[in-house]
Amino acid sequence: MAIKSKLETLVTVFGGSGFLGRHVVRALANRGYRIRVAVRRPELCGHLRPMGRVGQIHAVQANLRYPDSVKAAVRDADAVVNLVGILFERGNQRFDAVMTVGAEAVALAAKDAGAPLVHVSAIGADPSASSHYARAKGQGEARVFAAHSEAIIMRPSIVFGPEDDFFNRFAALARLSPALPLPGGGHGRMQPVFAGDVGEAVAKAVDGDLKSGTIYELGGPAVRTFKELMQFVLATTQRRRLLVPVPFALLKLQAMFLQFAPKPPITPDQVELLKVDNIVSDAARRDGRTLEGLGIIPESIEAIVPTYLWRFRKTGQFNPHTA
């Protein structure tokens, strides 16, 4: 049988219109793949089309809660990528429905279609975790492997980039509040990873360069405590704010009320997540299941984050000492 060229290879990307999705779509488009973006709202995917040639990227409607729509989106695909995830629950968007049962639906459809699968999870995914989010991610991984044993799973740490929900959130808070909270004293460790590097890793998996049936852990070049990251946000936005240690119990109590906001700044479940370090494991580093092991030199927060947090400074992009 003739081997398809990348120009003939169709990749279905579930969740391709989101923050991480646009970086994955860009990496795949740069390689010449045809891309089918499977999302709940195809009409909101216009920003993706300029990333490729005319007709290279197109969107279709799919919802992970409806297996028939998943099967239709996977039909005739040569590879499948699942990026779908939610940070908090609303209405019928529940962790289990989206990240456990939904992940399984994608894996089953990809297996039936004979297509390789790249599933993006998260560092900290654990079927027995105290956090519902981490538990749903862990159970989703288990179901993915049960349905498609040759799937490749990517576990990124906190993902950063121009549209991220981490550095932008705290920079916005620093603009309005006289203090930033340090959950549990701010000692929790994180390894922020650039969205473009995650996109490149996913594209390498689609290329066939990664080992099937394997979990990869993706982190940036440096491990930082939560306190160090808040200090970096303040230095980058040129603001002086108090850093106030907040016990997890008190923060969780506050989160019980804040979770009802349209876009909650924090939820009780996210407080549980903050109790656990979010870093690449020693085993993944030892086995080369990291960005460096894939030949990708990870970008630092110092190189990327100031390029989009400048808008939170009092003087914007202008240096107050030279303006």
Q: What is the pLDDT of residues 160-173, one digit of tens each?
A: 999 999 999 999 99
Q: What is the pLDDT of residues 243-296, one digit of tens each?
A: 999 999 999 999 999 888 888 888 999 999 999 999 999 999 999 999 999 999
Give the pTM: 0.94
Comparing CA positions, the residue from 17, 24, 123, 121 lying closest to residue 79 is 24
Position 321 confidence tier, pLDDT thresholds 50, 70, 90: low
Q: β-strand 79-82 against 117-120: which pairing, if any?
A: parallel
φ, ψ for residue 171, nearest 5 deg: -65, -40
Each domain of the chain, given as residue ranges in start order, spans 6-162+192-220+279-298
22 token code pair: 């646009």
Position 5 confidence tier, pLDDT thresholds 50, 70, 90: low
Question: Selecting from 3.10.150.10, 3.40.190.80, 3.40.50.720, 1.20.1250.20, what CATH number does the domain 6-162+192-220+279-298 have?
Answer: 3.40.50.720
SS3 label, residue 264? coil
